[in-house]
Structures are given as structure tokens and as C-alpha cells.
Amino acid sequence: MKILVFGSGALGSLYAARLEEAGHEVAILARGQRLEDLREYGILLENAKTGEREQQSVNVVEQFTPDDNYDLVMVVMRKNHAMAILPELGANKKVPTFLFMMNDIAGPDELVAALGKDRVMRGFPYPGGRREDPVVKIVPADENRPWEIPIGEVDGSIRPRTQAVADALSDMRGFSVDIRTDMDAWLKYHFAVVGPAASALYSVGTDQDRLAKTRDALILCVRGIKEALHALRKAGYEPSPKGIQVLNYVPEPLFVLLLKWFLSIESLKPSIEGHAKAAPDEMAFLMDELLNLFQEQEIVTPVLDHLYTYYEDEVITIREGKKKIPMRWSGVLAAGFALMLLVTLLKKPCK
């Protein structure tokens, strides 16, 4: 398949390298210093866990013209940046498929208006990484569990081209593809977790280790996630994936503990802390979209409104280790009572 990767950040670079390695005819679009680095060094990838590096040569282009003809254009960039290039993409009438790999809350309407429904697909780019020119640090896939990329059509259908794109992406080493019929809901629920987490990270100076040590910020993060999940359900969006609704039932103390453990994983720093540092503009843009969605339906979200203030430069960050917010133990107590009741019933002799 002839593929253009539009976007030379961490994930665009990773995808271009893996697709080229798999035998596809790949070009990556870059500009400025990144263009010069790619031409001089190729794509340099560094495993965030082991430090091991690899190099992949890929055709590099610096523009996308109305006459360019690719089987697939993958737009792998921040949502706000992708919106800015829509006129450039729309001027080309030859490319049959544009796959937008990005966070997105507002939905596909603007993409469809610029390109047409039959040319737009949406997805989300795993795993995460950080560009430290000319090197890209990536979070490696587990040997027995590849990164699963969700993709889907705007109308939720599954067509021959859907499968063709999925097959091409599945060719990438360390990746598999999940074809979804509910991509819009998936993207909304994904950011319902990512948005509050990014806000909490900004509240402690965008320091992953500091967030793990600051209980108040972790509590706000947990409450923001639960509030966002409830609000989306109230707005009429079915949970996607279905299992995400389990987070609503995790007692706050346990959720905080799990989040603290997750943040302690050093190899995830390029994905969590790295992206938050590199893209505060995108996170603020997406949080605006999320809050606007709730405001349009008159859904009150006080925790999310509070977390949003941490995107503002003048707001003082939460002090490291702060523990002023009382933990909510009700869920733990209810679970303990239910367990005691179950044990009591099981101990009763059968008549």
C-alpha cells in the first residue's frame, strides 16, 4: 500500500518506520528542523525501557499537493494542528482515505465537511512517546501483547477498505488492530480518562513522580475521571469500550492506589509526562471540547471545571505531598459490608 504519514512527531515517526519495515511504500511529511533531521539520520527510535536504538530509512517529503496520489494518508498529529491543515488536505481529490489518528471529542463533522464522509476514517495512536530530536523515545510493546490500535468508519460500518487499512496497520511489528463500530464514543470515553489525568499532572508542574506523591492531586484526578464518565453516560453516549464503566465502581482509595502505582512505571514517562509537556495546547483544546459538550446539555461538572483551571499559567500548582482533601471511604465500607454479608450467608448451614 502507498501511504503518506502526515505528521513527523513521535507516533508519526514510529508508524512510518514500522510500515516501511513491513514492506509498504511509505513517505513521511516533515518540515523545518525535523525535515533536516530525517533526511540526515532517518527515523531513530529508542526503546524507553531498554535504551536500545534502531534506525529506519524512509522517503521524506515536505509538502502535500492536490496532485499527490496515495492509497492512504495517515494524519498523526494533535487535534488542533490537524484542524489547521484541513484546507490543505481538502484540496486533494485523489486520495481515497484519510485516517485521522488523534484525540477527538467534538466528532467528525468538521472532517467530513472538508473531505467527504467516504474519505474519512478515525482512530487513536498507541502507544505514546516523546521526540528528543533527532531521536524518538517510544514505549515498547510487550512481547506477548502487541499494542492494539482502534480504528473505525465515521458511520460505524465495516467496509472492504476498513479491513484493507486494518490489514496494513496490522503489518506493523508490535501492533494489532481493533476495528470498531463505535469510534466516536471510544474517543470521547478515552479522553474522559486522559483529560482529568493531564489536568492533575499540570497541577503538580507536569512531573509524573510528583503527581504520584501528591494525594490531593490524585484524588482530584480520580473524581474528575468518574465525573466525566458519568457525564458522558448522561449525555447519551454508551461506554466504549464496555469495560471502562468498571472505573465508576472502583472505591476512591483503591483507585488512588492503582493510579499511584501506574504513575510509578518509569517506561511510561515518554507517553504520560512526555506528551503532557509537549502538547499542553492540545490538552486544553480537547478539554474545551469536552466541557462544551457537557455545557450544551446543561450537565454540571464542578470537578472538571476546577481541574481545567490548572491549564492556566497563573494558577499555583498543588504542593507536593499535599493531603488536605478528605478521602471518600464509602465505597470501601460498602464493599466490606457486602463481603461480610456474603461470608455470613455462606456459613449458614443448609436446611
Instruction: Report the alpha-carbon distance of residue 286 to residue 308 in Å, rounded.
Output: 11
Is residue 121 within 8 Å of 154, Cβ to Cβ? Answer: yes
* C-alpha radius of gyration, the chain, whole number: 22
- Per-residue pLDDT at 348: 45
- Per-residue pLDDT at 272: 87
- Indicate if the pLDDT at residue 343 is higher than 80: no
- Indicate if the pLDDT at residue 12 is higher than 90: yes
Q: Residue 333: which pLDDT band, with cuts at 50, 70 and 90?
A: low
Condensed to tens digits (0 to 9), the pLDDT of residues 184-234 reads 999 999 999 999 999 999 999 999 999 999 999 999 999 999 999 999 999
Percentage of the chain surpassing pLDDT 90? 81
Task: Report the DSSP pairing between strands 147-153 and 120-123.
Answer: antiparallel
- Per-residue pLDDT at 49: 86
pLDDT mean over 104-112? 96
3-state SS of the chain is: CEEEEECCCHHHHHHHHHHHHCCCEEEEECCHHHHHHHHHHCEEEEECCCCCEEEECCEEECCCCCCCCCCEEEEECCHHHHHHCHHHHHCCCCCCCEEEECCCCCCCHHHHHHHCHHHEEEECCCCCEEEECCEEEECCCECCECEEEEEEECCCCCCHHHHHHHHHHHCCCCEEEEECCCHHHHHHHHHHHHHHHHHHHHHCCCCHHHHHCCHHHHHHHHHHHHHHHHHHHHCCCCCCCHHHHHHHHCCHHHHHHHHHHHHCCHHHCCCCHHHHHHCHHHHHHHHHHHHHHHHHCCCCCHHHHHHHHHHCCCCCCCCCCCCCCCCCCHHHHHHHHHHHHHHHHHHCCCC
**Grid cell for residue 50:** 531498554
Of the candidates 223, 218, 228, which has an alpha carbon nearest to the alpha carbon of residue 256? 218
Instruction: Report the interhelical angle of 280-296 vs 183-203 (nearest 10°).
Output: 120
Mean pLDDT, the chain, whole residue set: 91
Kindly tell me the sign of the dihedral angle through the C-alpha atoms of 86, 92, 93, 96.
Answer: negative
pLDDT mean over 238-258? 95
- Indicate if the pLDDT at residue 347 is higher than 80: no
Contacts of 261 by beta carbon, 8 Å cutoff, 6+ apart: none
pTM for this prediction: 0.91
How many CB atoms are located within 10 Å of the residue 252 CB? 18
pLDDT mean over 159-186? 97
- Per-residue pLDDT at 331: 64
Of the given ranges (118-132, 200-214, 337-351), which has the lowest mean pLDDT? 337-351
Instruction: Report the alpha-carbon distance of residue 192 to residue 294 in Å, rounded.
Output: 12
- Per-residue pLDDT at 345: 46
- Per-residue pLDDT at 275: 84
Of the given ranges (106-115, 135-144, 199-208, 322-331), which has the lowest mean pLDDT? 135-144
- Amino acid identity of residue 219, one-letter, is I
pLDDT mean over 12-33? 97
Kindly tell me the sign of the dihedral angle through the C-alpha atoms of 267, 130, 39, 96.
Answer: positive
Condensed to tens digits (0 to 9), the pLDDT of residues 32-59 reads 999 999 999 999 999 988 999 999 999 9
pLDDT mean over 159-166? 98
Q: Residue 145: which pLDDT band, with cuts at 50, 70 and 90?
A: confident
- Indicate if the pLDDT at residue 317 is higher than 90: no
Domains defined for the chain, CATH in brackets:
2-181 (3.40.50.720), 185-334 (1.10.1040)
- Per-residue pLDDT at 48: 86
**Grid cell for residue 133:** 530530536
- Per-residue pLDDT at 330: 77
Contacts 24+ apart (CB under 8 A), 319-323: 319/214, 320/204, 320/210, 320/213, 320/214, 321/213, 321/214, 321/215, 322/214, 322/215, 322/216, 322/217, 323/215, 323/216
Of the given ranges (138-142, 144-148, 207-211), which has the lowest mean pLDDT? 138-142
Percentage of the chain surpassing pLDDT 70? 93
- Per-residue pLDDT at 221: 97
